[in-house]
Amino acid sequence: MRRLLSLPIRYKLMLLAGFVLTGAMLSVISFSIFNEYHERRYAIEERAGMIGGVLAANVMSAVLFSDASDASKTLHSLINVPDIRAARIMTSVGNTLATYTTSRHEFSPPDWAMPARFEIRVPIMSENAKIGTLFLVVSNASLWQALRTNAQRTTVLMALLMLLALAAASKVGRYITDPIEILAKTARHISSTRNYQLRVTNYADDELGHLIDDFNTMLEEIELRDTQLETNIEQRTVQLRQAKEQAETANRAKSEFLSRMSHELRTPLNSILGFSQVMAGDPALDEDHRDSTNEIFKAGRHLLELVNEVLDLAKIESGRLQLSMETVPLEDVVMECFALIEPLAIKRNLNIERPNMSHMAVRADRIRLKEALLNLISNAVKYNRDHGHIRLSIESRLEHRLRIVVSDSGHGIPEDKLDDIFLPFNRLNAEFSDIEGTGIGLTITRRLIETMGGTVGVHSVVDKGSSFWIELPASTVDEVTQPEQVKKRLHARPGLQCTVLYVEDNPANVKLMVRIFRSLPYIQLITANTPEIGLQLARANPPALVMLDINLPGMDGYELLGRIRAESWGKNLPAIAISANAMQCDIERGNSAGFEAYLTKPVDLNQLNDTLVGLLDPGSMATEEMT
């Protein structure tokens, strides 16, 4: 049935015609044979009956007079009638008067399956009385012969007709299937090549013709729609390109504005900061003026921080932040952060708890992680209550991640405000308090950590405290690269008051350095973000030491060092190069150029500590374990 269904329509039509014709042919042949059999049978019977009647009349006298020889003679006249194979005359009492046969077996019982002969009986009458019976055995041979011939002729004729009809069906089928085939072929071609310009030629006005017309109309519509669609797409593309160009132009303008603003703002701010520090360091200044100068310095520093952080945020949001991902041992970073925070914590009598974090490391950008962590820890200090505590803990999380939790014992944050604290400039009314802050620290922290593939979160209970956490992919610490556990810091020596000038254009590095030096109260750090400002500041108040970045705008670190060495106060001034160029050739060039030390970024706190101590006070280098 499946094979039949998958036959082409033309063959199905031919099959149908074949079945119908065969049925019709068989019916006609059977009917004709049946008809002819009956007609011929009737004719034979009639003829035999007539012959029998004549014979019966002729043998009547012989029967009456029991003349067997005459009866036999009369029966023998049947020899001229080949259909009648045998005859017998029986008297009324059952005696056989005479018989006639053409062969011996003519009286064998009739074969009903294929009756070759049949028997008829004719009464022999005399004076209205039956005096005997004439039996005739009539052969059907001629009947069957005629039927056979007829059947053969009819079959041959019907077969010829059937062939003709099949040929006609095939021809007519072509009229139906050819258009369908063309239609199907075109549809297949169109669906594979998507060429909607093709059309099917129509040559008939029947249903198939209409189908082809409709198909062509559909194709026209699709083509039209395609053209419209293409036009639309082109228009949209042009519009989109224009919009994109506008957006890019706007973005470029914004970036340009931000960088220009930051530069424009930071240049005067550096002057303000630098000179206010220089002024504060003047021993001739009286107490009132010193306080005022300090206020100018603090306000300026706050403004600089704000500018730097806004710039940072803009950088992060525009995706221009460049990160160098590496394995960062947690111990180092945490130690460095706490080293920076410790003086403030001590001032507020805060108790600090932290676990052993050796062998724990995460995958992150070292400087940016430190910035984020420092942000959380300094928040914990700033928003804590006096005599409170800060606890740092590390938790292992699913999917091989580490969570660094910084908990404080501050006032906590109401739950409905928790979502807002990561939004920029949202300080939860802290702006009305005396706590210093920019309001975008947490925003930057979250963006930084997310850019590094981590997450930041908070849990807080009002009046009990808050827990901020950073979650980052864990990494394994390479034992060899693990830095020494010995921590050093400058020995606090009253009376030694010195100034260090740091020339660095990168605000993040400046910020970090400022934090580092906040823990060294006897060293006054003056920062400059351009070489020119640096030179001016140094001329106004020669420092005890300079730290120079190598890649500076306008003039590189080597040139700046050359200028400093050209000044009278700068001939023997200790100079430290701080650069991201960490190649051996860079370090050698730095040493040969006259730098006393060459430190590579990121700056290792201990190394910086040692270098500073060595350069500032070579005689009194002291080491002690950090708590």
Partner 1 sequence: MKTYLRVLLLLFFCPAWSLGQGMVSESAVKAAFIYNFIKFVEWPANTLPTGHIRLCLVGHDDKLQVAIEQMVGKEAQGRILEIANVQRSDLPGNCQVLVISSNEDRVAEILRMVGEAPKLTISDAADFIDDHGMIGLNSVDHKVQFDINVNSARRAHLKISAQLLKLARRVVQ
Residue closer to partner 1 (CB basis): 62 or 545: 62
Do 500 and 547 touch, CB atoms closer than 8 A?
yes
Q: Does 76 bind partner 1 (CB under 8 A)?
A: no
One-letter amino acid at 331 equals E
The residues facing 143 across adjacent strands are none
- How near is the Cβ of 75 to partner 1 at its closest, in Å? 14
Among 22, 27, 35, 95, binds partner 1 (CB under 8 A): 95
Give burial (CB, 10 Å; 0-12/13-18/19+) of 112.
exposed
Which window, 11-19, 61-69, 152-160, 580-588, contacts partner 1 (CB under 8 A)?
61-69
Within a 13 Å sphere around the CA of 613, how many CA atoms are in the beta-carbon half?
Answer: 19
Do 366 and 328 touch, CB atoms closer than 8 A?
yes
Residue closer to partner 1 (CB basis): 126 or 318: 126
Q: Does 54 bind partner 1 (CB under 8 A)?
A: no
Residue closer to partner 1 (CB basis): 122 or 512: 122
Among 93, 113, 480, 566, binds partner 1 (CB under 8 A): 93
Residue closer to partner 1 (CB basis): 68 or 258: 68
Q: Does 64 bind partner 1 (CB under 8 A)?
A: yes
Among residues 587, 309, 337, 328, the alpha carbon closest in space to that of 481 is found at 328
Q: Does 70 bind partner 1 (CB under 8 A)?
A: yes
Among 62, 380, 575, 599, binds partner 1 (CB under 8 A): 62
- How near is the Cβ of 61 to partner 1 at its closest, in Å? 4
Strand, coil or helix: 388: coil
Kindly identify the residues of this chain, within the stretch 102-131, that bind partner 1 according to CB under 8 A: 126-127, 131
Among 60, 208, 561, 573, binds partner 1 (CB under 8 A): 60
Give burial (CB, 10 Å; 0-12/13-18/19+) of 520.
middle
Do 550 and 590 touch, CB atoms closer than 8 A?
yes
- How near is the Cβ of 95 to partner 1 at its closest, in Å? 5
Among 35, 66, 152, 251, binds partner 1 (CB under 8 A): 66
How big is the site for partner 1, counted in residues (CB under 8 A)? 19
Residue closer to partner 1 (CB basis): 42 or 65: 65
Q: Does 61 bind partner 1 (CB under 8 A)?
A: yes
Kindly identify the residues of this chain, within the stretch 131-150, that bind partner 1 according to CB under 8 A: 131-132
Rounded distance, CA 289 to CA 255, Å? 39
Q: Over 228-239, what HEC string results?
A: HHHHHHHHHHHH
Could you list the beta-strand ranges (E) of 318-408: 325-329, 351-353, 360-365, 389-397, 401-408
Pairing state between β 523-528 and 498-503: parallel
Q: Does 56 bind partner 1 (CB under 8 A)?
A: no
Residue closer to partner 1 (CB basis): 98 or 369: 98
Among 58, 150, 216, 294, binds partner 1 (CB under 8 A): 58
Residue closer to partner 1 (CB basis): 22 or 92: 92
CB atoms within 10 A of CB 143: 22
Give burial (CB, 10 Å; 0-12/13-18/19+) of 38.
exposed
Residue closer to partner 1 (CB basis): 126 or 235: 126
Residue closer to partner 1 (CB basis): 1 or 93: 93
Q: What angle do CA 264, 269, 272 make, to 5 degrees?
A: 140
Q: Does 97 bind partner 1 (CB under 8 A)?
A: yes
Contacts with partner 1 by CB under 8 A lie at 58, 60-62, 64-68, 70, 91-93, 95, 97, 126-127, 131-132
